[in-house]
Structure 1
Amino acid sequence: MNSTTQLSTTRLSPLVLLCLVATWFIWGSMYLAIKWALVSFPPFYQMGTQFIVAGILLAMFAKWRGANWPEPSQWVGGSILGALLLLGGYGFTALAETRVGSGLVVAFSAVVPSMVALAEWPYGARPGMRRGIGIVVGLIGIFLLTQGSGFSASTSGLLFMFIACVTWSIGSVWAVYGLPGGISLKIAPGFMGHASQMLIGGVMLLLVSFAVGEVPVWPPEPMALASWSYLMVAGSLVGYTAYMLLLERTSPTLASSYTYVNPIVALVLGTVLGGELVTSFEWVAVAVVLIGVILLMWKQRS
C-alpha cells in the first residue's frame, strides 16, 4: 500500500478522526488551563505530576487489557521520546507561560509543522513547492509574531517556546522514522508504550523541578487544582495519547494538523476568559502563520 492510499484510508478511520478532534480542540483549551494551574503548581512540577498520574492510570489500563511491561530496550526508547516530547515540549511550554500569555504561546507553536517538515528532510521526505512556500510563509508569520509586544517584552519566553517546539518536532519525527542513521527506536506497543513515555517523562520533569527549586503552593487554589485535574485527564491522558496514536497511524504532518485550530481556540479563550491582551499586529501575525500552515498541510489530489 503506497503512502497516498494509506493516508486516505486512515483519514476515514473513526479512531483517527477522534484523535484529530482531541488534538485540535482539547489541546487548544489546554494552554489557558496551564496558566490557571500555574497559580499553585510551578511549570515542571505541574507537568511532571500530571504525567506520572496519567502514566500510572494508562499503564494499569493497558495491563488490564493484557499488555506486557516494556522490555529494557523499550524503556530506553520511551525515555528518549519522554525527554523530547514531555520534558522539552510540555515542560518548556509551561515555563514559557510564566512569561508570555497562553494565546501567544500556542500561536508560536504553529511553527511545529514547518519544523517537522525540515526534520523529515534527512529521511528523504522532500517538501514540494507548495509545502516549501508554506514553510517560508509560516516562518515569516512566526518572525512577525516575535516582534509583537508579547514576545518582544520577554526574550526568555521566546527562547523557552523555541526549545519546546524544536524538541517536540524532533520527537515527533523520531517516533515515526527512528533515530538518525537508520537506528530503530523501540517502543512498547499500544497504550503501554504511551504510558512508559508518560512515566519516564514525568520523572524527568520532577527531577528538573527539584533541581531548579520549584515549590508548589499547598493547599492549592481551587481553580488551580481544577485546572491541574483537567490537564491530567484532557491534556495528558487523552490529548497526548491521541497524538501518539496519530503518529502511529498517519504521518507527522497530519498529526501536527492541530496547529490549524489550536491558535484560534487558545487566543479566543485567552482573551475572553483569561483577560489576555492580543494586539492587532499580533492577530495579523497569527493569520500569516495559519496561512503558512494551510499551505504546508494542503496536499494536491492524486
Structure 2
Amino acid sequence: MQKPSTKSLIIIAFIGIYVIWGSTYLLNKISVTELPPLFLAAVRFSVASILIFTIAKVLKFSLKITKKQLLNSTLVGFLFLVYGNGVFVWALKYIDSGFGALLASTQPLFVLLLMRLIDHKKMQPKSLIGVAFGIIGMYLLVSQNELVTNEETLLGIFMIFTCIMSWSYGSVFVAKADVPKNYLVSTGYQMGIASIVLAIASLSLGEAWSSPLTWSTRVQLSMLALITFGSIGAFTAFNYLLKQVSTEKVATSAYVNPIVAMILGWYVLDETLSTQSIIAAVVLLTGVYFITSRKRDLPKEEISKDIP
C-alpha cells in the first residue's frame, strides 16, 4: 500500500492539473489578445524556469544532468511546451478558450491509441467505454454550427488537434524516459529549453516583443498566474504524476480542465455556453469515470502506483 504522504501528494497534484490547468485556458486567452503567442510562451517559460532553478538551488537539489537526460528533456520540452502549448495558444486567437479546452479533452483517446500502437497495450472494456463516451462528447461539441463559424475557426480546431497529438506522445514518452529524477529540476530543464526554442521561433517569425511594463494590468496579472501557478505548480505536479500513476489517469486532466475553462470563459469573457456544450461536458466526464475506475493487470508491487 502507498504511504499516506504519497497519497496526499498525488491528490494535491491531481487538484493542480485539474483546476489550475483548467484556468490557464482563460489566462492564455486574455494574454494572447495583446501579446504574440510564441513571445507570450517564451516569456512565461523562461521566467518560470529561472524561478524553478532558484527554488531547486535553495532546496539544495542537484542540477546535474546527463547527455541522455538533456536530449530527452529537449524532446519532451518541444512536445509539451513548444508545440503542445505554444501552437495551442496561437490557436486560441481564433476560438473561445472554453471551446479549445473541450477540444483538448480528446487527449486521453490519443494516449490510449498511442499506448496501443507503441506498447501493444490491450484496451480493457472500461477504457473502450470511456473512449466511446469521449467520441460522442466530441461529436456533440464540434457539431454546433454557432461555434464553428468560419475557416479561421476550422484552422484553429485543426491546429489544436495536432497539439493534442504532440502532448499525448510526450505523455507516453516521458513516463518511461530517462529524465532528471527530481520533478522540479526536470520541469526546469524542460521549460528552460522550450523557452529558448520559442524565443528563436518568435524572432524568426517577426513577432513584436514588448516590455512587461507596457502590458495592461489584466495581462500582467494573467502572466503572473500563468508563470507561478500554471507553469511551476501545475506542470511540476504533472511531471510528478506521470511517474506515480498510469499515463491514462494523468491524461484525464484533459477531461476536467475543459469544465473549469468553460465556466471561467463564460463567466469572465462572456463566451458562449450552450446547452449542447454542457451536455457534451457531462458526457466527457462520464468517460473520465470509466477510464479512471478500470482495474489494471499489474504485479502486486506496481499496484501501489495507482490511486485506489
TM-score normalised to the size of structure 1?
0.89
Question: Superposition RMSD on alpha carbons, in Å?
Answer: 2.1
Q: Within the alignment, does 1:188 sit opposite 2:180 as a pair?
A: yes
C-alpha offsets along residues 84-135 of structure 1, whole Å, 9 cap, x if unaligned? 0111211122112101100111111111111111111121322111211211
Cα distance in 2 for residues equivalent to 1:140 and 1:26: 26
Q: Alpha-carbon deviation of 1:197?
A: 0.5
Residue 243 of structure 1: which of 238, 247, 258 is its match? 238
Cα distance in 2 for residues equivalent to 1:165 and 1:11: 32
Residue 204 of structure 1: which of 179, 185, 197 is its match? 197
Number of equivalent positions: 289
Cα distance in 1 for residues equivalent to 2:216 and 2:61: 39
Gaps of 5+ in 2: 298-308
Structure 2 letter corresponding to 1:141: G
- Partner SS, residue 69 of structure 1: coil
- Partner SS, residue 143 of structure 1: helix
Greater shift, 125-134 or 209-218, is seen at 209-218
Counterparts of 1:278-289 in structure 2 under 5 Å? 278-289=273-284
- Partner SS, residue 147 of structure 2: helix
Q: Alpha-carbon deviation of 1:26?
A: 0.7
Greater shift, 132-141 or 28-37, is seen at 132-141
Greater shift, 273-282 or 94-103, is seen at 273-282
Q: Alpha-carbon deviation of 1:9?
A: 6.3
Conserved? CA contact 1:24–1:258, under 8 Å? yes
Cα distance in 2 for residues equivalent to 1:152 and 1:211: 31
C-alpha offsets along residues 137-169 of structure 1, whole Å, 9 cap, x if unaligned? 212322332222324531111012101110000
Q: In the alignment, what sits opposite 1:52?
A: 46
Conserved? CA contact 1:31–1:102, under 8 Å? yes
Structure 1 letter corresponding to 2:18: W
Greater shift, 103-112 or 120-129, is seen at 120-129
Q: Within the alignment, does 1:102 sit opposite 2:97 as a pair?
A: yes
Q: Within the alignment, does 1:155 sit opposite 2:162 as a pair?
A: no
Residue 134 of structure 1: which of 130, 137, 145 is its match? 130
Cα distance in 1 for residues equivalent to 2:147 and 2:292: 27
Structure 1 letter corresponding to 2:141: L
Q: In the alignment, what sits opposite 1:82?
A: 77
Q: Alpha-carbon deviation of 1:10?
A: 8.4
Sequence identity (%): 26
